[in-house]
Amino acid sequence: MDDDEAVEARVVEAVAALPGLGADHSIAELRRRVELARRQDWSCTWCGEPLLPADIGAGRTQVDHVIPLIRGGPRAPWNTELLHGSCNGSKGGRLTTRAWALARLHAVEVVPPDQAGLRNAVEAIAGALRRIPYLLEDYDAAGLEAPCVDELDDLLPAVLAAADAIDRARRADAPSGRSPRDALASPSA
C-alpha cells in the first residue's frame, strides 16, 4: 500500500467514524468521495475552497457530473468531481471550460441548453395531456360540463412526434463535419 492509499484509508476510517454520519453514505461511497477529493487536491473545483473530510462525512459534498447529464454527459468516472453541496447547486447545468475539454477529449455530443429545455417542456405538456382524462372525470363527478377535448388519443403522439422532429432538425442544422459543440458559441471561461 503506497502513502496515498494509506492516507486515503485513514481518512475513510475517520470520516466513517464521524458522529451523525448515519446511513447517508456507504463505506464504498465514502471511499469514492475521498478518492475524488484526493484527485482534486482536496479542493472544490467550483469555488476553490478546501473539501474537508468532515464535509464529506456530514453530507455537505455532492458528486457532480462535469458534463451535466441533462447536457449529454455520461455516467462515467472521468466525468465526476466532488463539489460542496452549495457549489453544485450554483453550477447547475452549466458547462465549464473543463467540461468542454472533456467533451472534446471523449467525443461527447453536448446537448444545447435550449434543446434540453425544449424536451423538458414538451414532456411537461405531454404529462399534462395525459392527466386530461382524470380532469374530465373530476368535472363529471362535480356535475360540471367539461371542456371539449376531441381526439385526445391523436394529440399526445403528435406532441411527442413534434418534439422528436425538432430534435432531429436541430441536429441536422449543425454544419457537417462539425460537432454540435462547434455549432454553439463556446462559453467564456
Residues 6+ apart with CB under 8 A from 110: 67, 71, 72, 95, 100, 103, 179, 180, 181, 184
Per-residue confidence (pLDDT) for residue 29, from 0 to 100: 82
Evaluate whether 163 touches 119 at the Cβ level (below 8 Å). Answer: yes
Q: How many CB atoms lie within 10 A of CB 2?
A: 7
CATH of residue 67: 1.10.30
- Whether 49 and 141 share a structural domain: no
pTM: 0.54
Could you tell me where the beta strands, DSSP code E, fall in the chain?
61-65, 80-84
- Whether 96 and 136 share a structural domain: no
Domain presence at residue 55: yes
Per-residue confidence (pLDDT) for residue 188, from 0 to 100: 43
Segments of the chain scoring below 70 in pLDDT: 1-2, 4, 7-8, 11-12, 14-25, 114-121, 123, 129-136, 138-140, 144-189
Domain encompassing residue 155: 113-183
**Count of alpha carbons within 13 Å of 75, Cβ hemisphere only?**
0
Nearest to 51 by CA among 36, 68, 64: 36
Per-residue confidence (pLDDT) for residue 3, from 0 to 100: 72
Per-residue confidence (pLDDT) for residue 28, from 0 to 100: 80
Evaluate whether 66 touches 73 at the Cβ level (below 8 Å). Answer: yes
What is the chain's length? Answer: 189
Domain count, the chain: 2
Which of 55, 84, 105 marks a domain boundary? 105
- Whether 80 and 143 share a structural domain: no
The three grid cell numbers given for residue 35, joined into one nine-digit string: 478518492
Evaluate whether 71 touches 90 at the Cβ level (below 8 Å). Answer: no
- Whether 101 and 12 share a structural domain: yes
Single-letter code of the amino acid located at 21? L
β partners of residue 173? none
Per-residue confidence (pLDDT) for residue 180, from 0 to 100: 41
User: Can you count the helices (H) and strands (E) in the chain?
Assistant: 8, 2
Domain presence at residue 151: yes
Q: How many CB atoms lie within 10 A of CB 17?
A: 9
Domain presence at residue 189: no
